[in-house]
Amino acid sequence: MKTKILAVGPHPDDIEFGCAPVLIQEVRNGNQVRILVLTQGEASTSGAPEERIEEARAAAKAMGTEIEFLEMGGDCHLRQDIQSAVAIAREIRRFEPEIVLAPHPDENQHPDHVVASKLVRDATRLARYGGLTELRDLPRHAIGHLYFYSITQTFLPTPDIVIDVSSIESQWEQAIACHQSQMKTKAYLRLVQTRARALGATIGVSSAVGLWANDPIRLSRLSDLTLSSRNY
């Protein structure tokens, strides 16, 4: 049975910079992945919204994922309010994911990042409430797991999960390279690769991505952990 994974990003390139290789691996394993983007990058210095949408669609194709855009007021205008949380909850009910990925809730250089994180956290809870009038036309849905990914933060607590993504570095590069409008302002590919390789070194692999759990990670027994995170 396929696992459904929903990754939410505030801007057209955030998922590519933050957790794309995790999604690529899941697609390769036969799971169904959907990307939900909350703005069109309207405030960007480089790249018109139409251009950025096409870049995001090209990146999604390179990753093998589905992609949807949600109108929530535009870049730099995301707000943590009930209407926005309900809109995301509606998408969760429609797709019925087992796993949801959202930006890390720590403050960073863009206010939309932390707002998106809190909105997704709230939406995952609202999606399971059967009595919400705004959502009664769709069956309620309780997700299994909520994890956070880092878009640009460098100094964060040690991730709860570190995933070896060494085998799909080239496909990840292809997805990032789709965002040519953003490459004009900063060497994002180099920044992303440097962070991934530094994290990979902590577990003895070429490249890795970290995730932070919203809730404690549940195991039936300690021996379910089959891979060591130690670099001996």
CATH number of the domain within which 214 lies: 3.40.50.10320
What average pLDDT does the structure give for the chain?
93
Domain range spanning residue 36? 4-224
* Residue 35 token pair: 């990307």
Domain assignment present for residue 229? The answer is no
Residue percentage of the chain with pLDDT more than 90: 82
Distances (CA, A) of 38 to 24, 63, 80, 82, 157: 21, 19, 12, 15, 26
Whether the predicted pLDDT of 133 surpasses 90: yes
Domain assignment present for residue 114? The answer is yes
31, 197 in Cβ contact below 8 A? Answer: no
Mean local confidence (pLDDT), 54-67: 97
Domain assignment present for residue 230? The answer is no
Looking at residue 88, its pLDDT comes to 98
Instruction: Provide the domain count of the chain.
Output: 1
Report which of 31, 49, 88 is spatially closest to residue 23, judged by C-alpha positions. Answer: 31
Mind giving me the DSSP string for 19-41? THHHHHHHHHTT-EEEEEES---
98 alpha carbon, distance to own chain's centre: 14
Domain assignment present for residue 23? The answer is yes
Looking at residue 228, its pLDDT comes to 78
Domain assignment present for residue 231? The answer is no
230, 201 in Cβ contact below 8 A? Answer: no
Looking at residue 231, its pLDDT comes to 59
Domain assignment present for residue 154? The answer is yes
Whether the predicted pLDDT of 179 surpasses 80: yes
Domain assignment present for residue 61? The answer is yes
Domain assignment present for residue 148? The answer is yes
pTM of the model: 0.95
* Residue 34 token pair: 């959907």
